[in-house]
């Protein structure tokens, strides 16, 4: 599962790291990103990488209302090619959801202890994502997304049995290219990231408490 992540890298570095050619996103750094927020993602159109904002919580185009998005902020790699909610997006609408790190919680009797996982290189990375466009009953177009998860690697396994898919740098362009439709090659990307390239650190739980709406 991936229910919280962080992205605080400077925008100029993101543009360079992911070869962004066009901007369609109101990028805002955030240490505590959660489902229900608009998040930064890279898509490819006409051969160019575009930074866009997607609502985190995928709403399939055929959904009658938006409430389904509350449960669809993650998609399991094992079933995305078959499940109606994700199948079409997997074929044509793949993206990279940008992050510096992500959080997982370890259950310790009556408490949960959060840990942050990131790359040893300290560079931002792309999480494998899918996106959809949903038209509300009021005819408002909403772009939404989900983060794909897979089995945890050896570093994360003691904390949680799932992790978001981090797309390796050399496979990023292949993943977001809408003309690629080889299911086997795309599914092969959705593997646990090498643990030796990652680091973990405990986090103060107080920084992950979302303020209540006024």
Contact 131, 93 (CB under 8 A): yes
Q: How many domains does the chain have?
A: 1
Is residue 211 in some structural domain?
no
- End-to-end alpha-carbon separation of the chain, Å? 29
- Out of 52, 95, 104, 172, which one is annotated catalytic? 104
Give 64's DSSP letter: S
User: What is the per-residue pLDDT across 30-54, written as a single tens digit (0 to 9) for each?
Assistant: 999 999 999 999 999 999 999 999 9
Its domain, for residue 164, covers: 5-206
Entry pTM = 0.94
Point out which residues pair with 173 in neighbouring strands. Answer: none
- In the annotation, is 104 catalytic? yes
**CATH code of the domain containing 22:** 3.90.1680.10
Is residue 46 in some structural domain?
yes
d(CA 210, CA 202): 18
Is residue 66 in some structural domain?
yes
Contact 29, 7 (CB under 8 A): yes
Buried b / exposed e over 108-118, threshold 16 CB at 10 Å, is eeeeeebbbbb
- Out of 2, 52, 132, 172, which one is annotated catalytic? 2
User: What is the per-residue pLDDT across 87-123, written as a single tens digit (0 to 9) for each?
Assistant: 999 999 999 999 999 999 988 878 889 999 999 999 9
Is residue 213 in some structural domain?
no
Q: Are strands 74-76 and 141-151 parallel, antiparallel or unpaired?
A: parallel
Is residue 214 in some structural domain?
no
- In the annotation, is 95 catalytic? no
Within 10 A of 211 (CB to CB), how many other CB atoms are there? 6
């Amino acid at each position: 599962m991936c229910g919280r992540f962080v992205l605080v890298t400077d925008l100029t570095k993101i543009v360079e790291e992911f070869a962004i050619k066009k901007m369609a996103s109101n990028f805002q750094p955030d240490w505590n990103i959660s489902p229900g927020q608009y998040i930064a993602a890279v898509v490819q159109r006409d051969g160019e990488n575009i930074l866009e904002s997607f609502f985190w919580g995928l709403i399939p185009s055929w959904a009658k209302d938006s409430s389904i998005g509350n449960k669809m902020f993650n998609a399991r790699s094992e079933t995305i090619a078959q499940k109606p909610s994700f199948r079409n997006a997997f074929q044509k609408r793949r993206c990279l959801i940008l992050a510096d790190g992500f959080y997982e919680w370890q259950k310790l009797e009556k408490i949960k202890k959060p840990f942050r996982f990131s790359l040893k290189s300290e560079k931002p990375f792309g999480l494998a994502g899918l996106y959809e466009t949903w038209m509300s009953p009021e005819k408002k177009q909403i772009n939404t997304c989900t983060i794909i998860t897979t089995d945890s690697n050896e570093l994360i396994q003691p904390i949680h049995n799932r992790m978001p898919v981090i797309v390796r740098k050399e496979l990023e362009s292949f993943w977001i290219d809408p003309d690629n439709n080889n299911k086997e090659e795309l599914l092969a990307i959705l593997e646990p990231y090498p643990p030796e390239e990652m680091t973990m650190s405990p986090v103060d739980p107080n920084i992950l408490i979302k303020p209540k709406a006024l």
